[in-house]
Amino acid sequence: MSGARTTSGPTGPSNAAAKLGVMTQRILLVEDDARLAGMVSEYLAGAGFRVAVAGHGEAGIERLAREPFDALVLDLMLPDIDGLEVCRRVRSTSDVPILMLTARGEPADRIVGLEIGADDYLPKPFEPRELLARLKAVLRRGRAPASSALLRFGRLEIDRDARTVRVDGREKALTGYQFALLGALAENAGRVLSRDQLMDLVKGEPLEAYDRSIDVHVSRIRAAIEDDPKRPRRILTVRGAGYVFAKAQDS
């Protein structure tokens, strides 16, 4: 199984925060590759996290049921049950943020993971710094209540009261219908929504004369909020089913 890419320099970031006790968040890493688990644990410990490791899916589920953790870093490929099953069972009883690691890199795996409750995913091999950044992002965002007027997803902010959308603090131009559509997707982050479901969710908004389909609107929203609209990371297409909004995004 491939894992983290090694980089020159120190094993991990400065551990000054850990020494000062600034960050004491507990992370459960479910990973059967002992070498990779050791590297990741050491790196995250250097960033001030307390890391526990489980080598099997069942062991991870049991430990999470016994002890409180702030986040779960979950490998997709495990020797007993796969990470998708672990995610499904954990999410049925807990809202702990879940960052999934996948070596297969198949879009279907990522989409299913998001649909059943993973907050973000990271393909292997990965840079330890990216893992740290994504972990911090899911911890910062947590699982905000749906009633919050301001929705934050990494660098993306959706202000439902002001009806504005910002990326990196810069406002993006969307029509009223596109804003409503983006809001519907974001409020159901991680859930696959069909085109009919989306139309029902935004049926109170008047359609514009030249915008004849949900697909056209999604394309224009992607052009506004995605770093690369041709390779979207915020609004993902589920072939034959609809769209899913990623629960957690870049920091």
Looking up residue 29, the CATH number of its domain turns out to be 3.40.50.2300
Domain presence at residue 7: no
Same domain, 32 and 66: yes
Residue of 154 and 20 predicted with greater confidence: 154
The token duo for 79 is 């020797």
Predicted confidence at residue 190, as pLDDT, reads 87
Residue that finishes a domain, picked among 114, 141, 168:
141
Same domain, 119 and 23: yes
Predicted confidence at residue 18, as pLDDT, reads 38
- Of 189, 176, 188, 187, nearest in space to 221 by CA: 176
Name the band, by pLDDT with cuts 50, 70 and 90, for residue 4. Answer: low
13-27, 80-94, 141-155 — most confident range: 80-94
Domain presence at residue 10: no
Same domain, 50 and 92: yes
Domain presence at residue 28: yes
Predicted confidence at residue 91, as pLDDT, reads 86
Predicted confidence at residue 22, as pLDDT, reads 41
Q: How far apart are CA 143 and CA 53, in angstroms?
A: 23
Domain count, the chain: 2
Q: Please state whether beta strands 50-54 and 98-102 pair in parallel, antiparallel, or not at all (unpaired).
A: unpaired
Same domain, 189 and 123: no
Predicted confidence at residue 5, as pLDDT, reads 59
Same domain, 135 and 31: yes
Same domain, 27 and 84: yes
In one letter, which amino acid is 152?
R
Looking up residue 174, the CATH number of its domain turns out to be 1.10.10.10
Report pTM.
0.54
Domain presence at residue 8: no
| 248 SS3 class | coil
Predicted confidence at residue 250, as pLDDT, reads 64
Same domain, 120 and 170: no
Quick one: average pLDDT of 145-165?
Answer: 80
Q: How far is residue 65 CA from its own chain's centroid?
A: 22
- Please give the biggest Cα pair distance in the chain: 61
Same domain, 133 and 184: no
Query: Which structural domain, as residue segments, surrounds residue 231?
Result: 150-245
Same domain, 183 and 230: yes
For the chain, the average pLDDT equals 82
Residue that finishes a domain, picked among 84, 108, 141:
141
Residue that finishes a domain, picked among 101, 120, 141:
141
Same domain, 135 and 20: yes
Q: How far apart are CA 182 and CA 163, in angstroms?
A: 11
- Of 85, 88, 74, 83, nearest in space to 131 by CA: 74
| 21 SS3 class | coil
Q: How far apart are CA 193 and CA 3, in angstroms?
A: 33
**Cβ contact 225:246 at 8 Å:** no
pLDDT tens figures, 6-64: 443 334 444 444 343 344 799 999 999 999 999 999 999 999 999 999 999 999 999 99
Domain presence at residue 104: yes
pLDDT tens figures, 170-208: 999 988 888 989 999 998 888 889 888 888 788 655 554
Domain presence at residue 25: yes
Domain presence at residue 1: no
Same domain, 27 and 137: yes
